[in-house]
Chains A and B, each alone.
Chain A
Amino acid sequence: MTWKEVEIEIRKKFKKRWKRWYAHSPIRVYVDIDTADLLEWGHFLIEKVSARFITASAMDTPRNEIEILYHFAFYGLPQVLSLRVCVPKEKLEIESMARILKGAEWIEREMAELFGIRFIGHPNPKRLLLPEDWPEGKYPLRRDP
């Protein structure tokens, strides 16, 4: 599959159901989507256009929300597609991608303990990296006090 074909498939499936499609370069694409659509996008990318989940990254923002990016590569193509979802800090929870994809398990556990995000339906929501006696409620990568 070429990147053009991948784009056509994505546009056919999702029409314009995204908030923003930004191509920083021919091989780096960022798509801002709604939180509710995340699992549908993940399933479509993996099953229909041979994507590979690379990792996910969360970031604290001054806008009172946490931005999470799910990064996908494509077998045989140089492109990276990053899906951006924003989760409000008052209700810091999102559907877990690990429910449909084994490779997302560990990174979601890491984001949960470093940012305090709750991943609904995660198969194994234990601590991953921080020590057992690390105090609850203290998230190292959050910037608010």
Chain B
Amino acid sequence: MTIGKKTFTRSLWVYHLGTGSCNNCDIEILDCLTPRFDIERFGMVLVGSPRHADVLLVTGNMTLKNIPRVKRVYEQMAKPGWVVAIGTCSLDHGIFRESYVAPQKVCEILPVDVYVPGCPPKPEAIILGMAQLISKIQKQS
């Protein structure tokens, strides 16, 4: 494993981006920080700016008002960077499939690497998703 890969997989810095969600997934992501799940023991830290982030955690439906903002955030993220779509809404809208303000899915705007389904996915599922991301990064040459 190269040094770069070692650094990435041992301490991924994540930035959370909500794009029109009901907040369930967002709370579960934050729950990962709390003592029961404690994602920080894997080296993962929630950062305050996309410029410091390696991974973008996206939740929500990608409503129209959010699209320009999301694109800007993705551009600000230093590459290499990865995107994880969390929750059914960010997969294919789920129950909001026919909404008039969410015509595009998250995967049509951003290149998603890992999908974590659930409404909301439990913190254990989110951690599994992050583990899958780490093995995906390790496999990428």
Q: How far is the CA of A69 from the CA of B63 in the complex (A)?
A: 29
Q: How far is the CA of A131 from the CA of B63 in the complex (A)?
A: 9
Q: Check A27 for interface membership: any CB of B closer than 8 A.
A: no
Residues of chain B lying within 8 A (CB to CB) of residue A130: 101
Interface residues of A in 20-57 (CB under 8 A from B): none
Q: Check A78 for interface membership: any CB of B closer than 8 A.
A: no
Chain B interface main SS type: loop
Chain A interface main SS type: loop
Complex: chain A residue closest to B67, CB-CB: A131
Chain A interface category by residue count: under 10
Residues of chain B lying within 8 A (CB to CB) of residue A132: 65
Chain B interface category by residue count: under 10
Q: Which of B63, B65, B100 contacts A140 (CB 8 A)?
A: B100
Q: How far is the CA of A130 from the CA of B100 in the complex (A)?
A: 10
Complex: chain B residue closest to A133, CB-CB: B64
Interface residues of B in 48-105 (CB under 8 A from A): 63-65, 100-101
- A99–chain B nearest beta-carbon distance, Å: 29
Residues of chain B lying within 8 A (CB to CB) of residue A131: 63-65, 101
Q: How far is the CA of A131 from the CA of B100 in the complex (A)?
A: 11
Residues of chain B lying within 8 A (CB to CB) of residue A134: 64
- A127–chain B nearest beta-carbon distance, Å: 10
Residues of chain A lying within 8 A (CB to CB) of residue B65: 131-132
Residues of chain B lying within 8 A (CB to CB) of residue A133: 64
Residues of chain A lying within 8 A (CB to CB) of residue B63: 131
Interface residues of A in 118-145 (CB under 8 A from B): 130-134, 140
Q: How far is the CA of A133 from the CA of B64 in the complex (A)?
A: 9
Q: How far is the CA of A134 from the CA of B67 in the complex (A)?
A: 13
Q: How far is the CA of A131 from the CA of B67 in the complex (A)?
A: 11
Q: How far is the CA of A130 from the CA of B65 in the complex (A)?
A: 8
Residues of chain A lying within 8 A (CB to CB) of residue B64: 131, 133-134
- B84–chain A nearest beta-carbon distance, Å: 26
- B54–chain A nearest beta-carbon distance, Å: 30
Complex: chain B residue closest to A132, CB-CB: B65
Extra contacts, 4 of them, besides A132-B65, A134-B64, A140-B100 (Cβ < 8 A), are: A130-B101, A131-B63, A131-B65, A133-B64
Binding site for B on A (CB under 8 A): 130-134, 140
Question: 9 interchain pairs (CB within 8 A)?
Answer: A130-B101, A131-B63, A131-B64, A131-B65, A131-B101, A132-B65, A133-B64, A134-B64, A140-B100
